[in-house]
Amino acid sequence: MRLWRKLRFLSRRHRFDEDLAAEMRLHVELRARRLEKEGLEPGTARVAARRQFGNALAIHQASRDIWCWRWLQDLMQDLRFSVRALKQHPGFAVTAALTLSLGIGAATAVFSAVYAVLLQPLPYKDPHHVVVIWDKARRDREGQTVASFDDFEAYRGGARLIEGVSIAGLSRPILTVGDSRRRYLAGIISPWTFDFLGAPALLGNPRVTGGEGCAVVLSHRFWTSALSADPAIVGKVLRLDRSSCVVQAIMPHEFSFYPKRADMWFFLGHDPAGRQQVPYGAIFARLRPGVTLSQAKAELCAIHESLHAGDAHGKDRDADTDDAQRELTYLASPTLRSTLVILFWAVAALLLVACLNVAGLLLARFIYRQKEFAIRSALGCGRGRLIRQTLVESGLLALVGAVVGTCMAVAVVRLLVRNNVTELPDGVTVSLSTPVLAFAALTGGGAAILSALAPALFALKADICSSLGGAGRGLMGAPRSLAISQASIAVQIAACFVALTGGMLLADSAIHIANDSLGFSTAAITATHLSLTREVDRIRFQDGLLARLRSLPGVTDAAFGTFFPPYREDVMEQLEVRGVQSTGSYDVLSCAASAGFLSLLHTRLLRGRMFNDRDLPTGEPVALVSESLVKTHFAGLDPLGKEIRVNQFSGPSPWMKIVGVVEDWKHLEWDAEWADSRLVFRPLAQSSDLDFAVGVRAEHALPRLARAIQEDVRALNPSMPGEAVESLDDRLETMRAYPRFRALVVNFFALAALAIAAVGLHGVLSQIVSRRTPELGLRRAVGAQASDLLWLVGRQGGGPVLAGLAMGGMAAPVVAWVLRNLFWGVPLANPGAIGLSAVWLLMVAGIAIALPARRALSIDPMAALREE
C-alpha cells in the first residue's frame, strides 16, 4: 500500500513540488505580516520570518524524501538525463545498442541450443548418475559398439559399483490396424529399466504387470501420431508382429531413451517373439552413490577381461562407459556437442568484444563531454553520482540491446526449428525457456557493467581544474589505453577475417551441394520400401506392381532398385575381379536394379549397354559398374567383358560379366561433401533380394500418390506392411539443409563480428578525434589540408586494420587446420575466398574510418582554438 503510494508519487512530483512551495511561501508571508503587526519594519520582518522558517530548500528536499526514496528519484533523473543525452546523438545510440543486441542475441540463441541439448537434464531421477556401457576397440577411438548379451549378464552379475544394469536392443515390429500395416522402431529393454531410470509414465505403469504375454510401453510421439492420443489405450491390445501386446503405459513427451527415435519399448521376455535375450544392446546402469565414472569403468574392464580371457574378442576389445546424456547426444549426432561448445565460446567472445567496443564508444562520448562532467562536479555533483550516470547510460543501452537481442534470438530459434536442422537430436525442443531468458537478462546486466567500466573509471579520474582550464590540452598522440584499444581492434579484424573466409568457403560448399550434378535426378520421384516373404513369387509381384503403378494417372515411369539415391555414406562391400588378387578393401556399393531403374533416375550410360528384358534369372549374370569403380579397379584396362563379384554380409554374389559403364552417383559423406560412389548394379531379376524399394515419377502431390501406391501394393500382397512413402526431392532437401544451415550460421557470425569490429574501430577513432580536437584545429589553422587530416586520422585506424589482415592471413590456415580436425567438412581456404573477404573487410573498415575522419575535417579551427 505504502509502496504503491510512493510509486504513484513519482508521476505527481511536479504538482507536489509546486504545492509545497506555495504552502511554504504562504507560511513565510503570514509570519512576516504577523511580525509587522508586532511592530517590525516590513523588510526586517520578511528577513526575520525567513530566518524563523529555516532552510527552505533543505526542508523541501526532506519533505520530498518522505514521499519517495531518494535513490529512485535520482535514478529517474539519471534516466531522463541519459535518454536526453542519447537522443542528442541518435547515430551513436543506435550503433551502440545494435552492437550490444548482436552480442546478446547471438549468445542467447546459442545458449538456448546449448541448454536444450547439453544442460537440460534428462528426465530421469538423478540423471547424472545414469551411464551407458559400450564395447570398445582398444586402439580405435571411434570404434564404440553395442555390447553382447554375455557381457551384459557378466556386468549384471559381477559389478558392485553400479546398479540397475539393463540392456536395450532394437527391433522393427509391424503394427496392424484394420488392414493397414506399418513398421515402427522399438527398443527391447530389461523389465526394470523404467524403475531404475526413475522415469514416471504419463499414463499407466511402465512395468510388466500382466503375466506372460507381450507388453509394450509407447512413446508420446507414437501415441499422438499413430493412436491420435487415445487416453483409453492403456490396458488395451495392439497387434504387433502378429502378437497381441497389452499397452502398459504412455511415456511423457520429454522422455527419451535408447533408441532415440523409438516409437515403443518392449520388455525382454515380453516382446512379440517372446525372446529371452537380445544378441547385442546398449547397456545402461546407475552409478552407486559416491562412485565415480572412472572407478566404475575400471571394474567393468576387469569383468570384461576375465570374461573374455583367452578368446579373440578379449584381445583387442574392452569395456567403456560414459555419462548417458553425453552418449545420447553423441548418438544423435557425433559432432553436436563439440559444435555447440565451440559455438558457445565463440559467441561469448563475441559478446565480450561487443561490450568492450561499446565501452570504447562510450568513452569517446564522455571525453567529448568532459566539460559537462567538470561543470557538474564543480557544482557539487559527487563522483558516485557521476559514475552512476555512466552506469545508467550504458545500462539503458544494454537494456535496449537485451530486448532487441532477445527478439533476434527468438527469430533465430524459430529459423533453427523451422529449418529442421538435422543435427538436433529428436525430442529436443529448442525454445526460449526461463533459464534462457534469465541468461539473456544476466548477459544484459553484465554487458551494462562491462561497457560502463571504462567511462566510469574516466569519471572517477576526472579532474575539474584541468578540464575547465585547458580542455584536453597537450593530449598529442595516443595514450596507453588507446594503444591497447588499437591492438584489440587488430585482433578483432584478424578474427573477422578468418570467420569471413570460413563463412565464404562454407557458403561456396553449400552452393555446390545444392547445384552439383549428382549423377541422378530425383525430380518428382516418390519411393517406398517393400519387403517380401519367401513364399511370394517375387517376379510376379514386381511385374504386377510395375504394371499397376504405370497405369496410375499422372505417373510417367516406375522402377525397382535395392535403394534409391540420395543416400549418406553407407556400409560398403568388397569387390573381387576374377583373376586379380583382391585389394581387400570394402569400397563398393551394390544395387539390384530393374530394367528401367537407371533411366528413371536419368543416370547416363557411358559405355556398353543397359540392362534389358533378356537379363533373366536363368541368363548369364551381368553387371553395370560406375565410372569411378572403373578408375580404381580397372585402371587403364577395358572393364567390358571382365568378370566381378561382390562380397556382401550374406556371402559372395555369383561371378558377373560387366556389360556397361554408367556415370557415378554422388553420396553425402559425413563431412557434408558429395563424393563419388563406386557402384555395381545387378539386374533385379538375377538377385534374390527380398528387400527393395519402388520409385515412381509422377506429377501428383505426395499424399494422394502415397495412398495410391500403398493401395496397389496391398492389392497384390495384402500381408505386406506399409512403409513410409517418401519424396526423394524432400530427402535431398534434408541432406542439403545442414550444410546450408552451417553456412548460414557461420556467415551470420562473421557478419556480426564484422559489425562489432567496425563499431570498435569507429569508437577508437572517435576517441582520438575527440581528444585531439584542439590539435587538429591548430593544424587546420596553420594550413593543414583536408587530405593531411584525413591521412592523420586514417593512419590511426588503417594501421590496426592492416595488421589484423596480416595476422588473419597467417592464422587462417592454422585455424582451418584445427577446425578440420574438430569438425568434418570445413573446406580449406582458397585464394578467391581470402581475397573476397579481404576486400569486403576493407570496405567496411573504410566506412568505419571515414565517419570519424569526416568529423575531424569539420572541426572549426576558431572554435577548437578558443577551447584552449
Grid coordinates of 682: 545387378
Write the CB contacts of 183 (distance below 8 Å, at least 6 apart in sequence).
172, 173, 174, 175, 721, 723
Distance CA 560, CA 382 (A): 85
Among positions 30-49, residues that touch another protein (CB under 8 A) are: 30-31, 34
CB of 15 to another protein, least distance (A): 11
Residue 426 engages another protein in binding (rule: CB under 8 A): no
Question: Which residues in 685-724 contact another protein (CB under 8 A)?
Answer: none
Least separation in angstroms between residue 26's CB and another protein is: 6
Q: Which of 7, 8, 41, 59 touches another protein (CB under 8 A)?
A: 59
63 binds another protein (CB under 8 A): yes
Taking Cα atoms as reference points, which of 589, 588, 625, 618 lies closest to residue 685? Answer: 618
CA angle 773, 776, 781 (to 5 degrees): 125
* Residue with Cβ nearer another protein (62 or 76): 62
DSSP 173: P
Instruction: Closer to another protein by CB, 61 or 338: give it.
Output: 61
Q: CB nearer to another protein: give 66 or 465.
A: 66
Which of 10, 13, 36, 53 contacts another protein by CB under 8 A?
53
Nearer residue to another protein within complex by CB, 55 or 517: 55
CB of residue 760 to another protein, shortest distance in Å: 49
Beta bridge partners of 176: 181, 239
User: How many residues line the site for another protein (CB under 8 A)?
Assistant: 26
Q: Does 617 bind another protein (CB under 8 A)?
A: no
Q: Residue 62 Cβ, how far from another protein at the closest point, in Å?
A: 4
Under rule CB under 8 A, residue 279 binds another protein? no
Does residue 19 bind another protein (CB under 8 A)?
yes
Which residues, other chains included, contact 670 with Cβ-Cβ below 8 Å and sequence gap of 6+?
334, 568, 569, 824, 825
Please identify which residue in 8, 18, 22, 511 interacts with another protein, judged by CB under 8 A: 22
Closest CA to 152 of 298, 5, 285, 322: 285
Beta carbon of residue 25, minimum distance to another protein (angstroms, whole number)? 10
Q: Residue 624, SS3?
A: strand
On whether the CB atoms of residues 500 and 756 are closer than 8 A, the answer is no
Interface pick for another protein out of 10, 13, 27, 331 (rule CB under 8 A): 27
HEC secondary structure over 211-275: CCCEEEEECHHHHHHHCCCCHHHCCCEEEECCEEEEEEEECCCCCCCCCCCCCEEEECCCCCCCC
In this chain, which stretch among 1-9, 116-124, 232-240, 612-620 interacts with another protein, using CB under 8 A? 1-9
For residue 566, is the peptide bond before it cis, meaning its omega torsion is within 30 degrees of 0?
Answer: yes
Say whether residue 736 binds another protein (CB under 8 A). Answer: no
Least CB distance to another protein at residue 14 (A): 16
Residues 37 and 28: their CA atoms lie apart, in Å, by 14
- Judged by CB under 8 A, the residue of 17, 41, 55, 862 near another protein is 55
- Name the minimum Å distance from CB 380 to another protein: 22
* Residues 691, 422, 755: CA angle, nearest 5 degrees: 155
Instruction: For residue 134, give the H/E element and its range.
Output: strand 130-137
Q: Does 20 bind another protein (CB under 8 A)?
A: yes
Segment near another protein (CB under 8 A), from 28-36, 600-608, 652-660, 807-815? Answer: 28-36
| Candidate residues 7, 12, 18, 26; the one interacting with another protein per rule CB under 8 A | 26
Binding range to another protein, per CB under 8 A, among 53-61, 71-79, 581-589, 725-733: 53-61
Whole-number Å distance between alpha carbons of 787 and 488: 27
Contact between residue 183 and residue 222 where contact means Cβ atoms under 8 Å apart: no
Cell numbers standing for residue 70: 531518494
State the amino acid at position 813 in one-letter form: P
Sign of the CA dihedral 622, 628, 631, 632? negative
Name which of residues 128 to 157 contact another protein (CB under 8 A): none
Residue 268: Cβ within 10 Å count: 23
Does the protein bind another protein through residue 54 (CB under 8 A)? yes
User: Among 52, 431, 582, 648, which residue sits at the site for another protein (rule: CB under 8 A)?
Assistant: 52
- Beta carbon of residue 71, minimum distance to another protein (angstroms, whole number): 17
Quote the cell numbers at residue 254. Answer: 520429454
**Cβ closest to another protein, residue 5 vs residue 866:** 5
Contact flag: residue 3 with another protein (CB under 8 A): no
- Is 782 a binding residue for another protein by CB under 8 A? The answer is no
**Residue 7 near another protein by CB under 8 A:** no
For another protein, the binding residue among 40, 56, 403, 751 (CB under 8 A) is 56
Residue closer to another protein, measured from CB, 4 or 71: 4
The reply on whether position 66 binds another protein by CB under 8 A is yes
Q: Is 387 in the site for another protein (CB under 8 A)?
A: no
Residue 94 within binding range of another protein, rule CB under 8 A: no
SS3 96: helix
67 binds another protein (CB under 8 A): yes
> Which residue, 64 or 182, has its beta carbon nearer to another protein?
64
Interface with another protein includes 73 (CB under 8 A)? no
Going by their DSSP bridges, the two strands 573-577 and 586-593 should be labelled as antiparallel
Residue 565 phi, psi (nearest 5): -75, 165
Hey, what's the cell of 125?
531421477
3-state secondary structure of 613: coil
Nearer to another protein among residue 6 and residue 855 (C-beta): 6
Using the minimum distance from each CB to another protein, give the nearer residue, 69 or 823: 69
> Rounded to the nearest 5°, which phi and psi values hold at 404?
-65, -40
- Residue 5 in contact with another protein, rule: CB under 8 A: yes
Binding test (CB under 8 A) with another protein, winner from 24, 75, 399, 806: 24
CB 110 within 8 A of CB 246: no
Q: What residue spans of 38-158 are helical by DSSP H? A: 42-53, 56-67, 70-88, 90-114, 149-158
Q: Name which position in 62, 72, 378, 464 contacts another protein (CB under 8 A).
A: 62
- Nearest residue (CB) to another protein, 1 versus 635: 1
- Integer angstrom CA distances of residue 303 from 142, 297, 586: 22, 10, 33
Q: For residue 380, which phi and psi values (nearest 5 degrees)?
A: 105, 10
Strand blocks (E) in 401-524: none
Residues within the interface to another protein (CB under 8 A) = 2, 5-6, 19-20, 22-24, 26-27, 29-31, 34, 52-56, 59-60, 62-64, 66-67
